[in-house]
Amino acid sequence: MTSLSTSTSTGLRETGDTLTSLSTIINNVYENGLKYMQVNAEEGSNAAVAEGLNSIAIGPESIASGESSIAQGHGATASGTDSMAFGTNSAASGESSVAIGANSSSFATNSVALGAGSVADRDNTVSVGSVGNERQITNVAAGTAPTDAVNVGQLNALKGQVDSDIKDLKGGIAAALALEAAPAVAGKFTTYMGVGHYDGQSAIGISGRKTSDDGRWSISGGVTASQQGKVGARVGFTKVW
């Protein structure tokens, strides 16, 4: 009897110690963990459902049906394999797709929809809006690699260079119009001066020619200058057989 009483007492004490330890663990979890995470759902909302293998669903009426998918937010659905949906009524149905933001949708494979209402419906793309609800991407650094995006600053610099090149081209056409060979007069040195203009650009040209006394050969040359400061020159030789 004494042995039974002692065993019972020991068992009760151990059970009490276990309960005390369990209570301590629960209190620690609440005080140091769960107090920083709260869940509040409307009464009557459907429970979160994680149907896919290795999937996670967090939030009322959220559904993670794709394998290794994650759905977080009220009504979020992740049905694609390795897909992730974050935000109210977000949907990620494409394989390895991501939808972030309320009512965002990523339908295509390896696509990303960023921001509320964004739609990613093409494979291997990132969408920051939808048709009629476009967004700007700001604070974009200048691209340096072939696959980098460029910013407006880079485009403006390129446009300025192209505009300058076009002006030079138009100035060259004006210079060609301005430069004409001086006439050939036997035994004489002749000169020609002209002005050319093309699409807003102007140039001046001056040429000279020295012809032999018998008129059988001549040497000519000329220079041009456009309003862009570009200078051109030519030299020629004429022989009559």
Q: What is the CATH number of the domain that holds 185?
A: 3.30.1300.30
Place of tokens 């012809």: 211
Query: What is the pLDDT confidence band of residue 211, given thresholds at 50, 70 and 90?
Result: very high
Mean pLDDT of 211-217: 93
How confident is the model at residue 33, as a pLDDT?
Answer: 60
167: its two tokens = 């002006």
Q: Both 119 and 159 in a single domain?
A: no
The string of pLDDT tens digits covering residues 140-176 is 999 999 999 999 999 999 999 999 999 999 999 999 9
Residue 9 belongs to a domain: no
Q: Both 167 and 221 in a single domain?
A: yes
How many of the other CB atoms lie within 10 Å of CB of 171?
25
The answer to whether residue 5 scores a pLDDT higher than 60 is: no
CB 60 within 8 A of CB 42: yes
The answer to whether residue 233 scores a pLDDT higher than 90 is: yes
Residue 18 belongs to a domain: no
Residue 16 belongs to a domain: no
Dihedral of the alpha carbons of 116, 118, 124, 126, in degrees to the nearest 10: -70
How confident is the model at residue 7, as a pLDDT?
Answer: 57
Query: What is the pLDDT confidence band of residue 6, given thresholds at 50, 70 and 90?
Result: low
Our CA angle for 147, 115, 104, nearest 5°, is 110
Residue 201 belongs to a domain: yes
Tell me if residue 58 falls in helix, strand or coil: strand
Per the structure, the complete domain to which residue 159 belongs is given by 148-240
Q: Both 116 and 153 in a single domain?
A: no
The answer to whether residue 184 scores a pLDDT higher than 60 is: yes
Residue 81 belongs to a domain: yes
How confident is the model at residue 4, as a pLDDT?
Answer: 46
- State how many domains the chain has: 2
Residue 133 belongs to a domain: no
CA contacts within 13 A on the Cβ side of 37:
7
* DSSP secondary structure code for residue 45 in this structure: P
How confident is the model at residue 8, as a pLDDT?
Answer: 54
| Mean pLDDT for all residues in the chain | 90
Please identify, among 127, 161, 190, the residue that sits at the C-terminal boundary of a domain: 127
Paired residues of 231 in beta bridges: 225
| Residue, of 187 and 3, whose pLDDT is higher | 187
How confident is the model at residue 44, as a pLDDT?
Answer: 79
184: its two tokens = 């050939």
How confident is the model at residue 32, as a pLDDT?
Answer: 65
The string of pLDDT tens digits covering residues 65-120 is 999 999 999 999 999 999 999 999 999 999 999 999 999 999 999 999 999 999 99
Phi, psi of 61 (to 5 degrees): 65, 15
Q: Pairing mode, if any, of strands 63-64 and 77-78?
A: parallel
How confident is the model at residue 36, as a pLDDT?
Answer: 67
Spatial separation of the C-alpha atoms in residues 20 and 5, rounded to whole Å: 22
How confident is the model at residue 217, as a pLDDT?
Answer: 95
The string of pLDDT tens digits covering residues 24-56 is 777 776 666 666 667 787 877 889 999 999 999
Q: Both 235 and 154 in a single domain?
A: yes
